Amino acid sequence: MKQIKRALTFCGFASAFAFSGQTFAQTTVGDTSVPCAEDRACMNRMHPEIPMVAEADIGEPIIFVTRDAFDLTLDPDVSTSAKRKPREGAGIAHALTGPVHIRGAKAGDVIAVTIEALDPANVGWTDVSAFGFAGDQFGTDERFIVWRLNDDYAESDALPGVRIPNASFPGVVTTLPDERLHAEILERETDLLEAGGLVLPPNPSEAKPAELCGAEGTKLLECLRTVPPRENGGNMDIRYLTTGTTLYLPCLIDGCGLAVGDFHYAQGDGEVSGTAIEMGGKLTVTVRVVENPPDLSRGPHLEGSAAALGIPSKRFYAVTGFPLKEKGSVPANLAYLESPKIAALSNLSGDIHLAARNALAAMIDYIMAEYGYDQTQAYMIASVAVDMRIAQLVDVPNLGVTAVLPLDIFVERD
């Protein structure tokens, strides 16, 4: 495939940057003119010993130049739809940029990372596979589509009549774990894997940095995959983490080791197909050390304008879901528990996963019936635009999930 038309090519360096009417030094990190494997600032694993690739002062703008999560090179004029993405395996994911040493930040601090700007690339993609939420039901027809992106909206020839507004955000913002947290994560995820839970264990395939995490690396069986978010941040995929929002992260080692990536042009709450509108881009952040910091022991915090919580539409249509199922069936996420009770029931008590699955099924049915898209197209639309929202958690046994569809995305509708 052809090279992305608007190249995003930078190397780590310091220069001047005009910000809020003042001039600051800046640090730019990342080089997307080469593949992740050739970029010293590209990483895709988590380990306390990953070396820093740049340094920045507290308050100094840091510009992260980042490829998409799978490091793809796409041209929507050449290919707009395919059976699957043009890269086998998931070893590359996520292709992050970093880590950056924050001068003056010490282990035990909490840092506030403010998203100052995110400039999208001009091409993105969305993928459907069995890896998504309810993928055993809706991801059986694998599909990969390419989007044209601009500063205002995304369009794809594979989804005619759909225009998705720009709501760009980084899916991954993280600090490096320290030795204690790293050991805890390895232990608990290994226990879950051995019990039959869905876990991606350490794997050296396409791992960066290769000298630490690759096939000949010194820690190849210890480098954590970046798919799940953890206490130090990571792949949280929170669509509210947009420009102007501040994320609070623990600094677990001196300098913190800040890294970002997995940029999304737009995403519905849930990212149900497993991907949003995936893209590369250029993210500018500033970092400060927090005085009287919040307790992040249960996970990162964030704050920003309430406008980020809304849907990008003047009108919506919503469906609901409850934890109901056919007798004799076992939801895929519960199969590893091997409970003899689950199959015999048609109603599970307080199961938010099952409620969300039912809401998603109702929404996909609605999009197909109302707008004429096939099931896989509807699943993709849900992943990039539909918000899966908790309605209530107290009305046992039937807590509720609401799936919200912004109707203004359908631009060829009377």
- How far is 245 from 168, CA to CA, in rounded Å? 12
Please report, in tens digits, the pLDDT of each residue of the chain (414 residues total).
Answer: 233 233 333 344 444 455 445 556 899 999 999 999 999 999 999 999 999 999 999 999 999 999 999 999 999 999 999 999 999 888 999 999 999 999 999 999 999 999 999 999 999 999 999 989 999 999 999 999 999 999 999 999 999 999 999 999 999 999 999 999 999 999 999 999 999 999 999 999 999 999 999 999 999 999 999 999 999 999 999 999 999 999 999 999 999 999 999 999 999 999 999 999 999 999 999 999 999 999 999 999 999 999 999 999 999 999 999 999 999 999 999 999 999 999 999 999 999 999 999 999 999 999 999 999 999 999 999 999 999 999 999 999 999 999 999 999 999 765
d(CA 384, CA 403) in angstroms, rounded, equals 13
* Secondary structure (DSSP) of 269-309: TT-TTS--SEEEEEEEEEEEEPSS----TT--EEE--GGGG
pTM of the model: 0.92
Query: Which pair of tokens denotes residue 163?
Result: 């225009």
